[in-house]
Amino acid sequence: MSDSSEKQIIFRAAPGGALSGRIRVPGDKSISHRSIMLGALAEGVTEVSGFLEGEDNLATLEAFRAMGVRIEGPADGQVTIHGVGMHGLRAPAKSLYLGNSGTSMRLLSGLMAAQGFDVEMGGDASLSTRPMKRVTDPLRLMGAVVETSEKGTPPLKVKGGQRLKGIDYPMPMASAQVKSCLLLAGLYAEGRTCVSEPAPTRDHTERMLTGFGYPVERSGGKVCVQGGGKLSAAPIDVPADISSATFFMVGAAIAAGSDIVLEHVGINPTRIGVINILRLMGAGLELLNEREVGGEPVADIRVRAGKLKGIRIPEDQVPLAIDEFPALFVAAACAEGETVLTGAEELRVKESDRIQVMADGLVALGIDARATPDGIVIQGGTLGSGRVDSHGDHRIAMSFAMAALRATGPITITDCANVDTSFPGFVDLARKAGLDLVAEADR
């Protein structure tokens, strides 16, 4: 949901076309967030390249500026962070405003719980409805004092000066944000903090902590840190975001004649569900020039149009593709046969209820799509023309823009202003690749 005071943007996508060429999508959002957080707490100067200049990451950057960290940039993805060390943050003059960024709020809650000062964190209308108990409950077990609204939603008030104790926490639900929050709090806690996850989630925090010289123990689904260490500045080259690359991967897979190369994409094993699922559906997808950059695996991804078939999506792939499902639902709509997703309840508490909003949008375009409590059932068919409400959810807006490549008529998508949160420049890059797309102010 967008605030009514914000500008309203409509996407208009004309039918047909194909995607081709070599493009580099913006930097990984998760890694960009963490580069600011760890760079700020490190000793020394951290140089970041490939930083995603979206609103969510800028919210994290501004929060650390408000706490006294000198940060130069961003300029063309370059950011210089003058670290203040583990105990150098200062009390902000006012409440930290985190916009639409759940990642900022959940990870910062872990860091703020360990500081010597009080802090309040708030956000926009959408963020103010997002569940925070999943981080506040375990933080309280560590000795943190955190208040939320009666519903367990933002704003969060964190009381400083608490002595945190390490805990051994089995997560009830797989969540990289909860895991990261507790590991960041654990850097300051007495003793060891261990988090066990029921299914693998993205491990960018653990990789980057190691890159900054902080020891992390990992065995099976358990991650531990010992409190009281320090971080040493290290350069970070942020890979292109696989979540952003996904829109072009799906677009190329569904549009006849497509052949596109997406450069320098992060292929962290905890994030490659979309690659595995598209391959299971029959997409022509290959990884080229595989390498490692700053502890993160990277490759160029070539995708060509293929004849997709409906599948039952393996539940072990769900946590590895949780942000990519809106685009994958479009692939399913263009596939032959039925696609069934189960075990994806978490999609209902993202920036929108992504299961219901995608089902509604696909039905509006003539596809048989039925939402279930923990997933969706989609019958492949012919995408028609229509008007879709993205409910202010950036990933839904971009997914339906790509759907036009296979549609019989134009698709209009409303409430698209939030695309800039994760993918600034999306419309220009999509046009360059071959999608007939325009963004205009809603009158």
CA-based nearest residue to 96, from 66, 71, 55, 128: 66
Check if the beta carbon of residue 59 is closer than 8 Å to that of residue 122. Answer: no
**β-strand partners of 57:** none
Q: What angle do CA 109, 59, 399 make, to 5 degrees?
A: 105
Spatial strand order in the sheet of 20-23: 20-23, 259-266, 296-304, 284-293
Spatial distance between the Cα atoms of 301 and 320, rounded to a whole number of angstroms: 17
Q: For the chain, how far is it from start to end, CA to CA, in angstroms? A: 18
Residue 190 has what DSSP assignment?
B
Does residue 389 have an active-site annotation? no
Catalytic one of 323, 389, 393, 415? 323
Please report how many Cα atoms fall inside a 13 Å half-sphere around the Cα of residue 254, on the Cβ side.
33
Those residues with Cβ within 8 angstroms of residue 308's Cβ, 6 or more apart along the chain or in another chain: 253, 254, 281, 282, 283, 331, 332, 334, 335, 336, 380
Q: CA of 173: how far to CAs of 129, 195, 198, 361, 428, in Å?
A: 19, 12, 7, 28, 38
Those residues with Cβ within 8 angstroms of residue 335's Cβ, 6 or more apart along the chain or in another chain: 281, 282, 308, 309, 310, 311, 380
Spatial distance between the Cα atoms of 359 and 52, rounded to a whole number of angstroms: 30
**β-strand partners of 119:** 158
**β-strand partners of 158:** 119, 146
Residue 276: enclosing H or E segment and its boundaries?
Answer: helix 273-280
- Residues taking part in catalysis: 323
